[in-house]
Chain A
Amino acid sequence: MSVLTIERKVLEKNDMIASELRSEFKEREIFAINILSSPGSGKTSIIEQIARCSNGELKAAVIAGDVQTDNDARRIDKLGIPVVQIVTNGGCHLEADLVRDAYRKLSAEKFNFLIIENVGNLVCPAGFDLGESIKAVILSTTEGEDKPLKYPAAFRKASILVINKTDLLPYVSAPIWEIKRNALSVNPALSIFETSCKTGKGIKELCSWIKLQCK
Chain B
Amino acid sequence: MNPEVLSLARRAFLTRITSGFAGVALTQLLADDFLAGQLAAAEPAWTPGKPQFAPKAKQVLQIFCPGAASHIDLWDYKPELEKRDGQPLPGEENLVSFQGKNGPLMKSPWPFMQAGQSGKHISSMLPYMAEHVDDIAFIHSMTSRTNTHGPGCVFMNTCFTREGFPTAGAWVSYALGSLNQNLPTFIAMQDVRGEPPNGKANWGNGFLPAQFQGVSMAAQQPLRNLARPEGISAEEDEATRAFLHQMNSEHAEQHPGESELRARVAAYEMAARMQLTAPGVADLKSETAHTHAAYGTGDRNPLKAAYARNCLLARRFLEQGVRYVSLYCASRASGVDGLLNWDAHRTLKADYERHLPIFDQPTAALLGDLKQRGMLNDVLVIWTTEFGRMPTKQAVTLGRDHNPDGFTCWMAGAGVKGGTSYGATDEFGRRSVEKVSSAYDFYATVLHLLGLNHEKLTYYNNGANRRLTDVHGQVLREILA
- Do A and B bind? no
Chain A interfacial positions (CB closer than 8 Å to B): none
